[in-house]
Homo-oligomer: A and B are copies of this chain.
Amino acid sequence: MSKVRIKDIAKEAGVSIGTVDRVLHKRGEVKEATKKKVLKIAEKLNYKPNIAARVLKSSTSYKIAIMLPKALGNNQYWSKHPIGFNNSLESIYPFTVDMQFFLYEMHNEDDFNRNAALILSWQPNGVILAPILKKESQTLCMQFDSLKIPYAFIDSFIDDTNSISFVGEDAYKGGRVAASVVDLGIEKEADILLVNIARNVQNVGHLNSRQKGFLSYFEDENTNTGQKINVEIPSDAIDDIKNVLDPIFATHTNIKGIVVTSSRTYAVAQYLKESKRSELFLVGYEVFDNNIKYLKDGVINYLIGQRPIEQAEKTFKKLFDFLAFNTTPDKKDYQPISIYNVENVSYL
């Protein structure tokens, strides 16, 4: 492929290899005319550095910070991503990077900010960020911008930032997919309950998008014509679930399908099981132990899933290639939206 070496450029430009290197690495201290000439020749010869030689000589190790929500309690969705990042570490061999995790409590703004400060003091070369909390993430991104630290988003996306990339679900589409599955599972005239679980739904972008997508699906004339009942529940605690859902079921007797817009589907499943409503058609998001348990139990009928491990791998690769090879990734990279039932959940 590339047989052009620094030496070849140097020869053609009539300078030493040291000078060529200075130009190529923008280390300054080169006369403007020389610089131009070298760059032109490098371009012409289509020079590509020999990475093996570079690695051998100076194992420049990048520091990459990874900021994600902590996987805790019943919600193990975020436990998968670290596996993907660790895979990445192996796959870039013979390169190495110094990777550090900064895990914040999911809906805890203070803890988010505490970790943000830790990252800044660590002075990474690049950051991977799951910007779940919109406001706090925006502030942090502005700081990265001013420090010229590149950052890549995973799982969620927020506007008005300069992230080099986003890897995750098209949440609007994800809402439509859940809608299409519940539509197939219940009769046309039955009502559908849409459940959002979060302390502050407004500050969690993808819940809104899934909700919008869900509703958009039913504007099609051949779909379910029942009521769509929308509720918000502040947490996945069983008491909170009961407090909201008991009155709903008391007043709506034709609900046959339920969609939970987040990974906390297990909480609604637990409620349905305890209140003897397992026969309702329940669709939710994300595949992990606690949700799988209810899927196998028959309480959850379908799960709409992302592929957290692959998302981590892709995000890492984009940031690493950006740092090491200066490649600019596609800004938004929407990932597969997978449909799981009890038959295909065993192979992820």
The interface of chain A, by Cβ under 8 A from chain B, is 1, 50-53, 55-56, 91, 93-94, 96, 170, 173, 176-177, 179-181, 184-185, 217, 334-344, 346-348
Contact = CB atoms under 8 A, between A and B. Distances in A.
Contact of A344 (B1, B51, B338, B341): B338
Given A51-B94, A337-B344, 16 more contacts: A50-B56, A50-B94, A52-B56, A94-B94, A173-B344, A177-B344, A180-B341, A217-B343, A336-B338, A336-B348, A338-B338, A338-B339, A338-B344, A339-B339, A339-B340, A339-B344
Chain A binding surface SS class:
mixed
Contacts of A343: 173, 176-177, 179-180, 217, 337
A51 B93 contact: yes
Contacts of A56: 50, 52-53, 56
Nearest to A342: B180
9 contacts: A56-B56, A94-B94, A180-B343, A184-B184, A334-B347, A336-B347, A337-B344, A338-B344, A339-B339
A94 B185 contact: no
| Number of copies of this chain that the complex holds | 2
A88 to B, nearest CB: 12
A91 B88 CA distance: 12
